[in-house]
C-alpha cells in the first residue's frame, strides 16, 4: 500500500514530479487540470477508507464525508483537519476556491459553498479522482 512520501523524497521541480506521476496525473495535480466529469474512478465509490493525495500520499479526506452530489466528481463535505489549503482561483471568468494539498501543493479540485447540499458544512469539495488514491479501511 502506498503511504506517505518521506519529506526528503518530495519532488521540488516539475521534472521531478514528471518522474513520479503519469501524464494525466501531472496535468491535474501539477497544472491544475480537471478530469472529465463522470470518468474518474472514485465518482460513485462508497468504499470505507481514507483518500490520500496521489502525489505525496498525505491523508486528505475520509469516506465518511463523501456524499452523492451528482456533479460527476467525487464530493466531500469536509477535509481531514489541516490537510488542504485554499487559493482564490480567478481562471475561466469565475472566482472559485481552489483546493490544494497542504503538504505538497498539488491541485486537488475546488470548494463550493452554500449550494444547499444536505451536509453539515454546506460545502462541497469537488475533487478529481485522479488527484487521490483510496486506501480502503482494514476489514
Short-list 53, 60, 71, CA closest to 126: 71
56 binds Zn ion (CB under 5 A): yes
Q: Tell me the closest approach of the beta carbon of residue 2 to Zn ion, in angstroms.
A: 12
Choice between 58 and 126, CB closer to Zn ion: 58
Question: So which residues are the catalytic ones?
Answer: 126
Q: Tell me the closest approach of the beta carbon of residue 86 to Zn ion, in angstroms.
A: 15
Stretch that binds Zn ion, among 32-40, 48-56, 67-75, 120-128 (CB under 5 A): 48-56
Choice between 84 and 126, CB closer to Zn ion: 84
If one counts every other C-beta atom within 10 angstroms of the C-beta of residue 112, the result is 17
The secondary structure element, H or E, covering residue 28 is helix 23-29
Q: Tell me the closest approach of the beta carbon of residue 115 to Zn ion, in angstroms.
A: 26
Q: Rounded to 5, what percent of the chain is helix, strand, coil?
A: 20, 30, 50
Q: Which of 66, 103, 110, 124 lies at the binding interface for Zn ion (CB under 5 A)? A: 103
Rounded Cα–Cα distance for residues 127 and 44 (Å): 12
Choice between 4 and 119, CB closer to Zn ion: 4
Using CB atoms within 10 A of its CB, is residue 3 exposed (0-12), middle (13-18) or buried (19+)?
Answer: exposed
132 binds Zn ion (CB under 5 A): no
66 binds Zn ion (CB under 5 A): no
CB 67 within 8 A of CB 76: yes
Give contact residues for Zn ion (rule: CB under 5 A): 53, 55-56, 58, 101, 103-104, 106
Amino acid at each position: 500500500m502506498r503511504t506517505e512520501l518521506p519529506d526528503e523524497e518530495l519532488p521540488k521541480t516539475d521534472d521531478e514530479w514528471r518522474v513520479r506521476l503519469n501524464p494525466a496525473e501531472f496535468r491535474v495535480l501539477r497544472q491544475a487540470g480537471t478530469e472529465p466529469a463522470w470518468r474518474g474512478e472514485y465518482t460513485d465509490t462508497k468504499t470505507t477508507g481514507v483518500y490520500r493525495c496521489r502525489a505525496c500520499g498525505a491523508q486528505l479526506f475520509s469516506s465518511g464525508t463523501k456524499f452523492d452530489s451528482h456533479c460527476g466528481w467525487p464530493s466531500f463535505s469536509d477535509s481531514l483537519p489541516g490537510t488542504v489549503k485554499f487559493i482564490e482561483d480567478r481562471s475561466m471568468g469565475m472566482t472559485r476556491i481552489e483546493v490544494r494539498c497542504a503538504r505538497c501543493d498539488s491541485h486537488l479540485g475546488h470548494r463550493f459553498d452554500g449550494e444547499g447540499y444536505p451536509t453539515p458544512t454546506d460545502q462541497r469539495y469537488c475533487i478529481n479522482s485522479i488527484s487521490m488514491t483510496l486506501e480502503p479501511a482494514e476489514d
